[in-house]
Structure 1
Amino acid sequence: MCESARVFTIVNNCKETVWPGVTPGENFNGGGFALKPGQSVVFTAPVGWSGRIWGRTGCNFDNSGKGPCQTGACGDTLKCGASGKTPASLAEFTLATLDFYDVSLVDGFNLPMAVTPINGKGNCSIAGCDSDLRTTCPSELAVKSNGKVIACRSACDVFNTDDYCCRGLYGNPVTCQPTFYSKKFKEACPTAYSYAYDDPTSIFTCTGTDYVVSFCSSRKQPVCTYHNKKLVCSESKGFKSLPGRLWALMIVAMLMVKLWTIC
Structure 2
Amino acid sequence: MAINYSFFFLLSSFLLLGVSTKRTSGTIFTLLNNCPYTVWPGTLSGNGPTLAGEGNYILSPGTSMQLNPPVGWSGRFWARTGCNFDTNGAGTCSTGDCGGLQCTGGGVPPVSLVEFTLNGAGGQDFYDVSLVDGYNVGIGVKPTGDGASGNCQYAGCVNDLNASCPPELQVRDSNGSVVACKSACAAFNSPEYCCTGDHGSPQTCSPTQYSEMFKNACPTAYSYAYDDASSTCTCTGSDYIITFCSSGV
TM-score range, shorter chain: 0.7 to 0.9
Match of 1:92? 115
Structure 1 position 124 matched with structure 2 position 147: no
Seen in structure 2, the aligned counterparts of structure 1 residues 187 and 56 have a Cα distance that, compared at 3 Å, is same
Q: Show the counterpart of 2:244.
A: 215
Taking the TM superposition and a 5 Å limit, the aligned residue runs for 1:51-200 are 51-75=75-99, 77-96=100-119, 97-119=123-145, 120-145=148-173, 146-200=175-229
- How many Å separate the matches in 1 of 2:240 and 2:51? 14
Between 19-28 and 37-46, report the one with greater CA deviation. Answer: 19-28
Q: Distance in 2 between matches of 1:214 and 1:27?
A: 22
**Identical columns (%):** 55
Report the 3-state secondary structure (helix = DSSP H, G, I; strand = E; otherwise coil) of the residue aligned with 1:37: coil
Matched to 2:194, the amino acid is C
Residue pair 1:28, 1:43 contacting (<8 A) in 2 also: no
Counterpart Cα distance in 2 of 1:3 and 1:71 = 32
TM-score w.r.t. structure 2 length?
0.85
* Alpha-carbon contact 1:27-1:44 (below 8 Å) kept: no
Residue 82 of structure 1: SS of its match in structure 2? coil
Structure-2 separation of matches of 1:207 and 1:164: 34
Looking at structure 2, the residues matched to 31 and 43 of structure 1 have their Cα atoms a distance apart, in angstroms, of 11
Structure 1 stretches (4+) deviating beyond 4 angstroms? Answer: 25-28
Coordinate RMSD, CA, aligned: 1.4
Q: For residue 70 of structure 2, what is the aligned residue in structure 1?
A: 46
3-state DSSP class of the match of 1:147? coil
Partner of 1:256: none
Q: Say if 2:25 and 2:69, in contact at 8 Å, map to a contact too.
A: no
1:49-108 CA distance string (max 9 Å, x none)? 111000000000111111110000002x10113111000000000011211100100000
Give the aligned residue type for 1:195: Y
Partners of 2:138 and 2:202 in 1: how far apart?
26
The answer to whether the 8 A contact 1:32-1:80 is kept is yes
* One of 41, 55, 66 as aligned partner of 1:20: 41
Cα offsets for 1:112-148 (capped at 9, x unmatched):
0001111211011011101110000010000011211
Distance (whole Å) between structure 2 residues aligned to residue 161 and residue 192 of structure 1: 22
Matches of 1:4 and 1:32, distance apart in 2: 21
Larger Cα Rg: Structure 1 or Structure 2? 1
Bigger share in helix: 1
The answer as to whether partners of 1:9 and 1:41 remain within 8 angstroms in 2 is yes
Give the AA of the match of 2:169: L
User: SS of 2:221's equivalent?
Assistant: coil
CA offset at residue 30 of structure 1? 2.5
**What CA distance in whole angstroms lies between the structure 2 residues aligned with 1:81 and 1:160?**
24
Aligned to 1:257: none
Structure 2 gap segments, 5+ residues each: 1-21
Which of 22, 27, 30 matches 1:9? 30
Alignment of 1:178-257 (within 5 A): 178-220=207-249
Deviations 1:200-220 (A, max 9, x none): 111111111111000011122
- 8 Å contact kept, 1:22–1:32: no
2:113–2:129 contact (8 Å) kept in structure 1: yes
Q: Taking structure 1 as reference, are residues 150 and 28 closer, same or farther at Cα in structure 2, changes over 3 Å only?
A: farther
Letter in 2 for 1:72: G
